[in-house]
Amino acid sequence: MRHHKKAYFIVLIICVLVSKHAYCQQINFKPLAGNTRIQVSHGYPSTLYFDYLLIDTEMIRSISLESADAAWLEIQAPAYYDITVDIDWETPAYQLQNIYDPNATIPFNLKFAYANQGEENVSDAKSNATVLPGGFFSITIPVNKRSGGLPRPPPTPEFYGHDVPKSKVWLFFFGETGPVNSGHMVSTGTYIANINVNIYFSYYDE
């Protein structure tokens, strides 16, 4: 019995050491995407406009996912692939910045949602959208989420005369800003944020 325990322990040690050199089974279909590009179009509105905030009050302006004022992007890409969406800030994160005084900022809570179940219009996409928890600004998602069942067979490689099936992914941007306190170098004026949305194919490779 004692010998068995020792043997198990040795095997465990070997497993841990050997595992550094182990590889997962991953099949990279990315080369099959060929020259197909991701097509992105801005929705209307493309600017998240919060109207006005009264200084030194508790006023907060919110734009919800359901609101017609939520900004959105429509992505069209080959249905069988994964895409990665990274969001980064040109202006300070979670702030709106005075257009004349970069040191003057007001709080801004950006929220972000996506829909990838093949929705054809904005309202359907909003109904199915998944809202990311706060602080998550990078996602890798399938262009067309499988509703269940077995995985699909590998996609047909791109060749002349073959139309690669495409699907839509929708990205929504909304959130809230305020309240504004004049005690932090903040004065009246126009405040903005610029958010870059990077979209690219993901693939799994060594």
Interface residues with another protein (CB under 8 A) are 8, 11-12, 15-16, 19-20, 22-24, 26, 30, 37-38, 40, 42, 46-56, 61, 71, 73, 84, 90, 96, 106, 108, 110, 140, 173, 177-178, 180, 186-206
* Least distance to another protein, CB of residue 168, Å: 15
* Least distance to another protein, CB of residue 119, Å: 19
Cβ burial of 180 (10 Å; 0-12, 13-18, 19+) is: buried
Neighbours of 97 (CB within 10 A): 21
Query: Closer to another protein at the Cβ: 65 or 195?
Result: 195
Q: Would you put residue 58 in left (φ > 0), alpha (ψ -120 to 50) or beta?
A: alpha
Phi then psi for 132, rounded to 5 degrees? -75, 145
What does the alpha-carbon distance between residue 141 and residue 147 come to, in Å, rounded to a whole number? 13
Which residue is it, tokens 């095997």? 11
* Least distance to another protein, CB of residue 165, Å: 19
* Least distance to another protein, CB of residue 189, Å: 6
Which residue is it, tokens 């800003």? 177
Query: Closer to another protein at the Cβ: 6 or 147?
Result: 6
Query: Closer to another protein at the Cβ: 12 or 162?
Result: 12
